[in-house]
Amino acid sequence: MAEQQPAITLEKVCKSFGPNRVLHEVSLTLPAGKIMVMLGPSGTGKSVLLRCLVGLMKPDSGRIFIEGQDITGLDERRSAGREQMFALRRKFGMLFQDGALFDDMCVGDNVAFPLRQHAKLSEREIAARVAEDLERVGLKNAQRKMPAELSGGMRKRVAFARAIALRPKIVLCDEPSSGLDPVMSATLDELILDLHRTLGMTFVVISHDTAEARKIADYVGLLYKGELQAFGLKDEVLRSNQRAINQFFERSTEGPIQVL
């Protein structure tokens, strides 16, 4: 059997905005079907990294491979590049920090939106997928509700249902637990684990939350000032005794990570 390509490979990815060096020679390999939690203080380039993965930003140098395909040179101004970029984006589901629901659409229509835009499915098939995914996230009775009627945790769960509706290979989650109480955060962590188990997707989770990393991660990364201070299997990274990792996991002010 052919060996499965890693979901994501980064080779010395660099990105600056003028004098602001945001990513510096970031290299990692994430095998398919694993959960990676990328930790790091605010402003250290985690969101920029996500945008580079989906082709919304281009690195200044280095290479990015998604399922073995080099996406670094894709050029949306050319029609072949546009098609490849579209195919690339279809591989990703995205859970934005604020959920980014359409406030004028009910929950069911929010989840159906990507299916209506991009899947060749009948309305009956779309309705079945929407019902299935709302049940997965524990919201099967919320279909006709409007986003304004939902709590923060419910909005995040609707956003999850929308992010997985097209059955992407890789789900990118930008701080899924931000702004949620600890119990709701734990519920979302369980949801990630459940989706991962049942649908086998690869997850990239951006987080400040070490408890979340301990609970759900197969792989952990720590980004600080644009450099990957640590990356690897969670247990190995936690055992590695690196100062930045210890500081982050022990919530200490002592260590190489300084308040920006």
Ligand X SMILES: Nc1ncnc2c1ncn2[C@@H]1O[C@H](COP(=O)(O)OP(=O)(O)OP(=O)(O)O)[C@@H](O)[C@H]1O
Name the site residues for ligand X (rule: CB under 6 A): 17, 20, 22, 40, 42-48
Q: Pick from 248, 252, 246: which is nearest to 40 by CA?
A: 248
Task: Please state the closest distance from residue 47 (CB atom) to ligand X, in A.
Answer: 3
Task: Please state the closest distance from residue 67 (CB atom) to ligand X, in A.
Answer: 24
Q: Which is nearer to ligand X, 27 or 141 (CB)?
A: 27
Task: Please state the closest distance from residue 17 (CB atom) to ligand X, in A.
Answer: 4
172 neighbors 95 (Cβ within 8 angstroms): yes
For the sheet containing 170-174, what is the strand order? 92-95, 170-174, 202-207, 35-39, 219-224, 227-233
Task: Please state the closest distance from residue 16 (CB atom) to ligand X, in A.
Answer: 9
Q: Which is nearer to ligand X, 219 or 224 (CB)?
A: 224
Cα-trace Rg, the chain? 19
Q: Which is nearer to ligand X, 40 or 108 (CB)?
A: 40
Cα distance between residue 192 and residue 206, in whole Å: 13
Q: Which is nearer to ligand X, 4 or 20 (CB)?
A: 20
Burial degree of 121 (CB within 10 A; 0-12, 13-18, 19+): middle
Cα distance between residue 142 and residue 108, in whole Å: 8
Task: Please state the closest distance from residue 244 (CB atom) to ligand X, in A.
Answer: 15
Q: Which is nearer to ligand X, 189 or 209 (CB)?
A: 209
